[in-house]
Amino acid sequence: MKGLILAGLAASLTACGTGAPKPPVPEEVGAELATFRQLFVPISSETWKGMSLAAQTAPSTFIRPNQYGDPYVRDMVLVGGREVSANIAYTSVLLVPSGVPLESMSVLQYLRLFEHDAGADLARVAAPKGSIFIARDALPRVTAAARAAGSPAEDSPFSVVFGTLK
């Protein structure tokens, strides 16, 4: 009887899922990203200074952050014991410290930004329930899945909003 109880206990512990959860496949990541209407990407302090100066000196001039070198903030993420550079986006201004300037983007627009940023190894989307990470080699499948799940193909018009986290 004692052996039967121990065997049952061992089986129940195994069934509890003591192992680490499996990471999502790129198609699941793309489908999850498609649930967000827009993402918010922090504008780098250098670019923000340049944009502010241009707006003061020539207010009628059309300004885009990608006019400047390294227009967006990158985050450092620890992967396998080493730090790697990541593009960062937020699903809500409520997740970003107050006063941080952000550009609003569509999901596919953000994925293209990551695709063309050779200085970043990962994309990181900060969401209320945790971060979503996208490796460069998974990007084509994530993009295709986001598109298939209904992410708008058009870019969001350029606008600047500010973080509100207090």
Residue 28 lies in a domain: yes
131-161: pLDDT as tens digits: 999 999 999 999 999 999 999 999 999 889 9
Q: What does the DSSP assignment read for the chain?
A: -HHHHHHHHHHHHHHT--SPPPPPPHHHHHHHHTT-S-EEEEBPHHHHHHHHHHHHH-TTS---GGGSSS-B-EEEEEETTEEEEEEEEES-GGGSBTT-EEEEE-HHHHHHHHHH-TT-SEEEEEETTEEEEEEGGGHHHHHHHHHHTT--SSPPPP-EEE--B-
* Residue span of the structural domain in which 49 resides: 24-162
The number of distinct structural domains making up the chain is: 1
30-58: pLDDT as tens digits: 999 999 999 999 999 999 998 888 888 88
Residue 87 lies in a domain: yes
Residue 17 lies in a domain: no
Residue 66 lies in a domain: yes
Residue 4 lies in a domain: no
Residue 109 lies in a domain: yes
The mean per-residue pLDDT over the stretch 73-84 comes to 94
Q: What is the band of 6 on the pLDDT scale with cuts at 50, 70, 90?
A: very low
Residue 8 lies in a domain: no
Residue 14 lies in a domain: no
Q: What is the band of 15 on the pLDDT scale with cuts at 50, 70, 90?
A: low
